[in-house]
Amino acid sequence: MRLALRKSDALDDWYVIERADHDGREWMEPFKAGGVAGAALHCSSRIEPSTDVEGPAAEMRAIAAAIRAGGSIEFRRCAVRMGRVVEFWSPRNSREPGIVSLADARELAAEIEAVLGVPPRSP
C-alpha cells in the first residue's frame, strides 16, 4: 500500500500519513469497548480504517529518520516500527497497526524529507 503525507487544512503544523490511493469514502462502524457501545468513523484514506496517524512536522521528520535507520519511534499520535514489514499506528487511538512493505515505507520517508526537509543532526 503506497502512502502519502497530507498537510492538515485546519492546523498550521499538522500532517497525516494516509493511503496514497483511496476513494475518499467515510462510514460509521459500531463497536463495543468496556461494555460501552458506540460508533467509530472510518475513512478509506487511513492506513488503519479507524485511526489517523498524525502529528507535527518534527514528528513526521523523525518518522522518516526511523524508517531510514530501520528502527522504531513512537509519539502520542504517530508511531512506526520496522521489521520484515513496517507498522504504522497512533499510540493514542489505534486498535491495530497499519502494515506496509519496506519499499512503500522508504518511499514515504523520501516524500516526508522532500516536503519537510531532513531533520537536523545532533552534534
Inform me whether the pLDDT recorded for 110 exceeds 70.
yes
**pLDDT tens-digit profile of 28-72?**
878 777 788 888 777 877 887 767 899 999 999 999 999 999 999
Q: Domain of 32?
A: 3-116
Residue 121 lies in a domain: no
Inform me whether the pLDDT recorded for 96 exceeds 60.
yes
pLDDT of 119 reads 65
41 DSSP β-pair partners: 28
- Global pTM value: 0.84
Residue 36 lies in a domain: yes
Confidence of residue 25 (pLDDT cuts 50, 70, 90): confident
Residue 103 lies in a domain: yes
CA-wise closest residue to 29 among 50, 8, 45: 50
Residue 122 lies in a domain: no
Residue 74 lies in a domain: yes
pLDDT of 121 reads 65
Cα 115 to its chain centre, rounded Å, is 16
Residue 81 lies in a domain: yes
**pLDDT tens-digit profile of 97-108?**
999 999 999 999
- The number of folded domains in the chain is 1
Asked if 97 contacts 105 with a C-beta cutoff of 8 angstroms, the reply is no
Residue 104 lies in a domain: yes
Average confidence score pLDDT of the chain: 89
Mean pLDDT over residues 75-99, rounded? 93
DSSP string, 63-85: HHHHHHHT-EEE-SS-EEEESSS
Residue 59 lies in a domain: yes
